[in-house]
Amino acid sequence: MYVCICNAVTDRDIRAAAHAGASSFADLQARTGCSDCCGNCESLARELFDEASGKHMRPLGLPSIAHAA
């Protein structure tokens, strides 16, 4: 799906950049042009980038005692 309409950047482009070594959101922007125009896509682009680069881990829904173990 298109994430950044202004620069025609897709979710696949974002994942590919993360897997290719983009180390920060600024690096992603430099590589793809994503979110450097109007900025409406920034929150979704950041979420996708963080997930693809392993910076955003989703909780497993375990009880809080399990997180401490």
List the chain domain ranges: 2-57
Q: 1, 8, 18: which is closest to 56 by C-alpha?
A: 18
- Whole-model pTM: value is 0.77
Per-residue pLDDT of the chain (69 residues; tens, 9 = 90+): 999 999 999 999 999 999 999 999 999 999 999 999 999 999 999 999 999 998 765 555 555 554 444
Spell out the CATH class of 2-57.
mainly alpha
What pLDDT score does 18 carry?
A: 96
CA distances from 58 to 7, 32, 39, 62 (A): 29, 25, 25, 11
What pLDDT score does 60 carry?
A: 52
What pLDDT score does 55 carry?
A: 77
Q: Distance between CA atoms of 24 and 50, rounded to whole angstroms?
A: 9
